[in-house]
Structure 1
Amino acid sequence: MLWTELKDMFTFPEGVDEEIVKKCALRKMALAFSTFKKKLFANYAKKDKEPNWGDLPQVKPYWEEFKQYKLSEDAQELSENGKLNASNKKYNHHLGSAWYKKAIRKWQKMEQDLMDRDIRPVIWDFPERSKWWLFANDVTLNQEDGSLVVPHQMEEVARDLVTAIEEAREGTFHPQRENDELTRALKNPEHPRRTHSISMVPWKVDWAGDSSYKTHRKKKAEQDNKIHALQ
């Protein structure tokens, strides 16, 4: 319904993929609605005040239900858990509003510029998930020799990631979908439906075509990794 109403306000140029426009528009709508609800709670419900219904007549029929839920124990618990998770987050991406899509093009150009000068970046054959995650967390490339330039707060995880990649090359570590080089370096398991680096991308998309998931080969590889760790 929202998309239909919005679409009626515009005339799309010939050749425009409306599905892409629709997806972007609905994402923006969802963000705007979420922000609106946060402000509504912070400015009114939390302060036990009512909005000016002349400005927000569409909200009035749902106000009591909205306020009751936002002040409930369940909602407060979710809010506190969210704050706790945010405070525990060790690494924060710095990508801007375009998120990964635009950033990846910039990073690819940075690598290509070095290659055009016959300088092979040390990261050129890293798994893309690992590479993009490093770049998103302020790791960059030295434009003189292609080596990694690592901020102090990223030194440990960058070192562990390089080690995991080297072990994978040597065959002493067998990366799997939710236990790949990046997850090993971060020392925390993947969220059961999302992947590190390409934020909010489901496993079935980010690891499309990976035949190792939930197979005998995966189980054997995990056992081999444990044995190697004990040696």
Structure 2
Amino acid sequence: MKNIILRYGKKQIIKKGFDITASRGECIGIIGHNGAGKTTFSKALCGLHKDYDGKITIDDKEFTDKQRLKKCYLVMQDVNYQLFAEKVEEECCFGIKDFNREEVLQVLKSLGLYEYKDNHPNTLSGGQKQRLAVATSIISKREILIFDEPTSGLDYDSMIRVSKLIDTLREDGKIVFLVTHDYEFICNTCTRILHFDKGTLTEDYFLSNEEGKDKLKKFFIQQ
């Protein structure tokens, strides 16, 4: 991403152009206070927010917004907007032409949803719906996965399940972005942090060293 500036109507959400390069196998946490531009950035990345300046490339190739929708998958904070099928199992492969049913069932098992595979998604709890959306993103086989508050409504055990699955996705060469306020989830899952503040990308650092870990801890202490 090069010289990105985001707008929402006449208002600039991301005011100052910035550059980001993400490598396969990275899990990047996106942090910042409410209104900092995190969700708008995520939607622009996957092609859902079209009002921006700059260039977004994947493997050095520039894609249109529509083309990026086929490369990226966004799990929204309110997953009710992403539930369409009549059964949980069907939801996992909704709109996907080629899928492996055994893989679908295995993903449901890993997220504690197998016993609900024949249930209607709307009968699930909020946390279960969140896990179902995560399952669907995995089955989609998209190269770039973006999760907006994926641990919202999840208990600790479910958070760890999601974290382990994201580790598997990284090992498979996916690029994962997480918009989250969950410090423990970040520590368990992310390799790098993008910090937005008042429409500006203020910091970009890795969590593989103590300096990065201290910056992250300081942000959450000061909230």
Q: Which has a greater percent of helix?
A: 1
Q: Which has a greater percent of strand?
A: 2
- What TM-score results when the alignment is normalised by the length of structure 1? 0.21
Q: Which has the higher contact order (CA 8 A, sep 6+)?
A: 2
Which one has the largest radius of gyration?
A: 1
